[in-house]
Amino acid sequence: MQKTLRDSAALRWLVLILISSLLFSTYWFYDFYGGIKGLMEREMGISSEEYGRIMSSTTFANVIGMIILGGIILDRWGIRLAGLVFGGLSFLGAIISAAAVAGWFGDDKSTMLIWSITGRVLFGIGMEVVCVMVTRTIVKWFMGYEMALAMALNIGFGRLGTAMGMAVAPDLAAGGSISPAFSFAAILIGISLVFFIIYIFFDLKIDKQRSESGIVTEGEVDEEKFRFADFRKLITNRSFIYIALLCMVFYSAVFPLLAYAPDLLVNKYGFSYEMGSQGEFAMFGSAVLGTAFIFVLLLIFGLSFSMIPRSLKKNGHKLLSFMVISVLFLGYVYILRDVFSEWLVNGPKTASLIPMGTILFTPIFGSIVDKRGKAATLMMIGSALLVFAYLSLSVFNHVYLGYLGLISLGIAFSLVPAAMWPAVARIVAENRLGTAYGTMFTLQNWGLAAFFWGIGALLDFVNRHRLSDIEAETAAYDYTIPVLMLALLGVISAWLAYKLKQADKLQGYGLENPGITQ
């Protein structure tokens, strides 16, 4: 068979970087608000409920089926046009939000609020369809190659956007105005659209090659098109119902919390929104140098290890690797202890370590699921960890338990997505995956709509007697009840994962068997 562009590994990975940049920038825009919640409230004069309303508005059009409609449009128009239109929509939404907080439409509270919400609604439609489009593009280029790894890395790009958005936004707003943080995030989407336009040339070329070599092009793959009969079949499948509900409940307990996590750390444990005396650039520089140093050490270790004769390293090499990596990691922590000591008392920077950790752990758990299976069991464990995390962050008051809670949340946030998304591919036929992901994202948006807003509204309600003191910065928000409510979602997630395991036993998709992504 004639070779096409996707047969070159270098080109495949280049394509992944080009399209993942859209995920990086849209996740950044989605989540950077969390890092400046307190600043937004002060500058725009809004309450926690109103902040929650802005966050929740991201989902407004999606709860009434916009992602499914976007998926149908994607099937009809193809990756190039749909990518430009929906990527452009997310950019437009981001520009409107940035203009709103800069006071372009008027600087009174209600005008800023209305236009911020309008911007987020448009952004939300664009970004969710972009997510589905990027997944489709990965399948187009990586099917038969490193598809699971490509998907995990793609999510990694998104999480990096979330982490950096949360961590860097307060620095961008450090001049006393939130506007630069918004403009920067909007510009990032614009830059990633330029990358997408570069990708379009590769897409045109590969489609030409595929049609020349007799492989049907994307627009001609009829089975990929959305049909209502398939949709009906999908939503009456027991395993799919449980995994889709799990997606809704689990993500409702995680994504909204991220939008409040920095503020929770500031209010509950007295963390700060500002950095300490050491100077951010110096700290950033030492963090980058320290990370580069540890990579070089790992490389040297890897090279020297590969030179040891096989017979010598046969036994105990896993233990040796574990010991060396642990020593290197502890050395890393020791070298960067000043950086860590400053970061671990800063709300947005500490909260950003949650998505940062998932970049490493999601592919690790993904490969465990590949090799050992147990996807449904791992989803149960991940959900149980969520309960532990939220109990630590609500009913207890010790900061070390708080750190432990954040670590558990990070592990749960890696474990469940790593097991969930490949499991969908087991339950649903490949040519229906677009519809399945679109349906799951829609349900997820129902949950997000309720909880992005619900946490803020509940926060205002339980703190109603001291809101003026909180505004005057003489009192702090009490987050106990809102976080306890999320612990309940963890319990429901664990139950849904258990029901999924039972349904899988009946229907025989083999979610507990290895090789789930194949």
Task: List residues near ligand L6ULR443 by CB under 6 A.
Answer: 27, 30-31, 128, 131, 155, 158, 162, 251, 255, 417, 441, 444
Cβ-based nearer residue to ligand L6ULR443, 35 or 290: 35
For residue 409, how many other CB atoms are within 10 A of its CB? 28
Residue 27 CB, nearest approach to ligand L6ULR443 (Å): 5
Integer Cα distance of 45 and 467 in angstroms: 12
Q: Which is nearer to ligand L6ULR443, 62 or 392 (CB)?
A: 62
CB of 403 to ligand L6ULR443, least distance (A): 23
Of 495, 489, 254, nearest in space to 351 by CA: 254
Cβ at position 158, least distance to ligand L6ULR443 in Å: 5
Closest CA to 34 of 273, 253, 284, 280: 273
Burial 198-231 (b: 16+ CB within 10 A, else e): ebeebbeebbebbeeeeeeebbeeeebebeeebb
* Residue 294 CA neighbour count, 13 Å, CB half: 18
Nearest approach, Cβ of residue 255 and ligand L6ULR443 (Å): 5
Classified as helix, coil or strand, 309 is coil
> CB 226 → ligand L6ULR443: shortest distance, Å?
18
Q: Report the Cα 144 to chain-centroid distance in Å.
A: 25
- Is residue 198 within 8 Å of residue 80, measured between CB atoms? no
Give min distance, CB of 220 to ligand L6ULR443, in A: 28
Instruction: Please report, for residues 35, 304, 360, the alpha-carbon distance to residue 294 in angstroms, rounded to integers and kept in the order given.
Output: 28, 15, 15
Phi-psi domain of 374 (left: phi exceeds 0; alpha: psi -120 through 50; beta: other): left
Minimum distance of ligand L6ULR443 from residue 406's CB (angstroms): 17
| CB closer to ligand L6ULR443 out of 112 and 257 | 257
Q: 421 or 477: whose CB is closer to ligand L6ULR443?
A: 421
**Which position has the token pair 């036994």?**
315
CB of 127 to ligand L6ULR443, least distance (A): 7
- Which of 141, 251 has the CB closer to ligand L6ULR443? 251
Q: Name, in order, each residue with C-beta under 8 angstroms of 417's C-beta and a sequence gap of 6 or more.
A: 155, 358, 362
Q: Nearest approach, Cβ of 413 to ligand L6ULR443 (angstroms)?
A: 8
- CA dihedral over 184, 52, 482, 460, signed as positive or negative: positive
Q: Residue 277 — φ and ψ, nearest 5°?
A: -80, -15
Dihedral, 205, 207, 213, 216 alpha carbons, nearest 10: 180
434, 71 contact by CB (below 8 A): yes
346 has which bridge partners? 272
Radius of gyration of the chain (CA): 23
Measured from the CB of residue 132, what is the shortest distance to ligand L6ULR443 in angstroms?
8
Measured from the CB atom, the residue of 179 and 444 that comes closer to ligand L6ULR443 is 444
> Residues for the chain: how many in total?
518
Residues 6 or more apart whose CB falls under 8 angstroms from that of 403 comprise: 344
78: left (phi over 0), alpha (psi -120 to 50) or beta: left
- We find the least distance from the C-beta atom of residue 30 to ligand L6ULR443, in angstroms, to be 4
In the bound state with ligand L6ULR443, the residue whose beta carbon lies nearer, of 202 and 421, is 421
CB of 162 to ligand L6ULR443, least distance (A): 6
Q: What angle do CA 13, 18, 21 make, to 5 degrees?
A: 120
Nearer to ligand L6ULR443, 33 or 196 (CB): 33
Q: Which residue lies nearer to ligand L6ULR443 by CB, 4 or 162?
A: 162
Toward ligand L6ULR443, which CB reaches closer, 31 or 224?
31
Q: Which is nearer to ligand L6ULR443, 439 or 463 (CB)?
A: 439
Coil, strand or helix at 508: coil
Q: Which is nearer to ligand L6ULR443, 444 or 493 (CB)?
A: 444
Given the complex with ligand L6ULR443, which of 245 and 283 has the nearer CB atom? 245
Nearest CA to 379 out of 483, 508, 252, 496 is that of: 496
Question: What CA–CA distances, in Å, run from 313 to 299, 305, 328?
Answer: 18, 8, 20
Q: How far is the CB of 468 from ligand L6ULR443 (least distance, A)?
A: 33
Nearer to ligand L6ULR443, 22 or 283 (CB): 22
CB of 417 to ligand L6ULR443, least distance (A): 4
- Gap between the Cα atoms of 458 and 369, Å rounded: 37
